[in-house]
Amino acid sequence: MGHPIGSMHRVRVVAVSEQFSGSRQLTTACLIAGKSLNMAEAKMVIIFDFDRTLIDDDSDRWVVENMGLTHLFNQLRPALPWNALMDRMMEELHSQGKTVEQIAECLKHVPLHPQTISAIESAHALGCDLKVLSDANQFYIETILKHHGLYRCFSEIITNPTTVDGEGRLRIFPYHDLASFHGCNLCPPNLCKGLVIEQIQASMSEKGKSRFIYLGDGRGDYCPTLKLDRGDHVMPRKGFPLWDRLLSNPSLLKADCHEWSNGEELASILLKLVEKVCKE
């Protein structure tokens, strides 16, 4: 399972103290520092993984378990890549007469920590550029964010695209063209998050945005963290695969590392980092 906190010094874990608990305190701190709120806009890009990071569960498994697909899922799991498997699950729901609206209603019950919601709203209010980079899918992410009033906070959602076909079936497609391998052995064929991060970095450098915070938990979040530079920050969820991989390969990471275990810790650490940028 997990490693002792002390071992994380090898990946330059940065202690976060005197946490801010809400947007009003953070906004006040930035103004006292003599910086306008758009200073964060000029300097800070925050990229969230979705499953078990922004939300407190896995959206794919949530639908599988709560819509009666567990048996079929377990049967097909060894034979299909994840992206194709989830598209097959949507086919099964459609064959059972389940509607897209019923899938959306199921997704509205996915747990999301209230302090994570507050932190996202605060960072957005301060002008940070927020993005989602996820191997879930467009429909799931947009449905959940809209339900919690957070969709407006994100400038971009980068994920596997979806559409509803003429028969009313939800279709899930890979982000990358599977006919042309993206060349990364760390990532699944349908999405290399590291490649996406490089594209975002190139775009942001043209606009003068130089600080990145990346929040994630899974194996697919390892590649993008290796693309971060000194002065950037990675926030791995403690005890999850990304955290373990960073412990195993500390010399490869340039960014500062801030571990977290729950939504309360995520919020306090994230807002503290935004405060730091406001004061620079």
Is 60 part of any known ligand binding site? Answer: yes
Give the confidence band of 59 by pLDDT, cuts at 50, 70, 90: very high
Domain boundaries, the chain: 43-56+112-160+175-279
Distance (Å, whole) CA 220 – CA 228: 15
Does the pLDDT value for residue 29 go beyond 50? no
User: What pLDDT, on a 0 to 100 scale, did the predictor assign at position 42?
Assistant: 54
User: What pLDDT, on a 0 to 100 scale, did the predictor assign at position 180?
Assistant: 77
Give the confidence band of 53 by pLDDT, cuts at 50, 70, 90: very high
User: What pLDDT, on a 0 to 100 scale, did the predictor assign at position 36?
Assistant: 45
Is 135 part of any known ligand binding site? Answer: yes
Distance (Å, whole) CA 73 – CA 90: 11
% of the chain with per-residue pLDDT over 70 = 85
Give the confidence band of 25 by pLDDT, cuts at 50, 70, 90: low
Average pLDDT, rounded, for the chain: 87
Distance (Å, whole) CA 67 – CA 165: 20
More confident residue, 37 or 8: 37
User: What pLDDT, on a 0 to 100 scale, did the predictor assign at position 208?
Assistant: 72
Its pTM stands at 0.87
Does the pLDDT value for residue 2 go beyond 90? no
Does the pLDDT value for residue 261 go beyond 60? yes
> Which residue of the set 49, 129, 232, 256 is catalytic?
49
Rounded to an integer, the average pLDDT of 240-250 is 94
Give the confidence band of 4 by pLDDT, cuts at 50, 70, 90: very low
Decide if 244 is catalytic: no
User: What pLDDT, on a 0 to 100 scale, did the predictor assign at position 209?
Assistant: 64
Chain segment 165-185, per-residue pLDDT in tens: 999 999 999 998 777 778 899
Say whether 66 sits in a helix, a strand or coil. Answer: helix
Give the confidence band of 206 by pLDDT, cuts at 50, 70, 90: confident
Decide if 49 is catalytic: yes
Rounded to an integer, the average pLDDT of 86-96 is 98
Q: Residue-wise over 30-46: b if at least 16 C-beta within 10 A, else e?
A: beeeebeeebbebbbbb
Does the pLDDT value for residue 139 go beyond 60? yes
Other beta carbons within 10 Å of 102? 13
Does the pLDDT value for residue 6 go beyond 70? no
Nearest residue to 218 via CA among 249, 182, 186: 186
Rounded to an integer, the average pLDDT of 87-95 is 98
More confident residue, 44 or 151: 151
Name the architecture of domain 43-56+112-160+175-279. 3-Layer(aba) Sandwich (3.40)
Rounded to an integer, the average pLDDT of 144-153 is 99
User: What pLDDT, on a 0 to 100 scale, did the predictor assign at position 181?
Assistant: 78
Degrees to nearest 5, angle at CA 184 with 51 and 154: 35
Does the pLDDT value for residue 7 go beyond 80? no
User: What pLDDT, on a 0 to 100 scale, did the predictor assign at position 278?
Assistant: 76
Is 49 part of any known ligand binding site? Answer: yes
